[in-house]
Amino acid sequence: MNISLRVDIFKEGDAYVALSPELNVSSFGDTIDDAKISFREAVEAFIEECRGMGTLEDVLEESGFSRIGGKK
């Protein structure tokens, strides 16, 4: 599954925060690269949790995503 997300990265205090407004998922790190790595891990955990609960497609649809090609 490939998902394209808008990710905003900004500095808050001494940390860099990475935020996806569509999924309302965020993470942080000491550097921009650390924030990106941490964010990717947070999104992967979010997706796996939704998948495990059987709600992934609903959550993505409610967040404005749509399936392009492929099968269900």
Locate 51 and state its tokens.
Answer: 């998948």
Distance of CA 32 to the CA centre of its chain: 16
Prediction pTM value? 0.85
Q: How far apart are CA 39 and CA 24, in angstroms?
A: 11
pLDDT in tens, 6-26: 999 999 999 999 999 999 999
pLDDT in tens, the chain (72 residues): 788 889 999 999 999 999 999 999 999 999 999 999 999 999 999 999 999 999 999 999 999 888 877 655
pLDDT of residue 2: 80
Which residues have C-beta within 8 Å of that of residue 60, sequence separation ≥ 6?
3
pLDDT of residue 70: 61
C-beta separation of 37 from 46 below 8 A: no
User: Pick from 9, 16, 11: which is nearest to 31 by CA?
Assistant: 16
